[in-house]
Amino acid sequence: MTGSKISGRRIAVLATDGFEQSELTEPKRLLEEAGAKVDVIAPKGAKQIKGWSKKDWGDAVKVDVALEDAKQSDYDALVLPGGVMNPDQLRLVPEAIALIKAFGAAGTPIAAICHGPWTLIDAGLVKGHKVTSWPSLRRDLENAGAKWEDSEVVLDGQLITSRKPDDIPAFASAIIAALGVAA
């Protein structure tokens, strides 16, 4: 995925401390290689957020936009990385859920991987949709009215969901395709 397939597109990545390292950095890299400008958005005025890599803390990632300053209208898509801590914390931040809801209301692509779909539940966006996630979220998603399936990537309307780091290439390709350009 090189070149400028999605040149001029802006993508928001909403995360906080404890995001799964590869689920933020790898989609970000692939989307940037395809020509997008990718902004990392985080709450509490953080200048950087720290990832989780397998069984320990990972690398810090620079925050480009404070959550309080982020506007859905500035972006063409939203990416929600997983990790257990990251979405669990974001679910309790009203501004994070409000931003996700704004993307939902605008009909722009929302891509969530691993535990990222937890935040989609709180934003009220999964009922009646097919989704996938890390297996432990299956019951939560079904209880929220989603139809869960065990697939590398699931596309349903504006929602793009994937299960785990191994799915990242398909996940990034689906985001690029959703932005109107064949990957």
Catalytic residue among 13, 41, 114, 121: 114
Type of residue numbered 140: D
115 is catalytic: yes
114 is catalytic: yes
Residues 6+ apart with CB under 8 A from 54: none
Residue in the structure block whose two tokens are 């801590």? 85
Rounded CA separation 92/29 (Å): 28
Q: Put residue 8 in one of left, alpha, beta given phi > 0 → left and psi -120 to 50 → alpha.
A: left
Catalytic residue among 5, 9, 28, 115: 115
Catalytic annotation, residues? 114-115
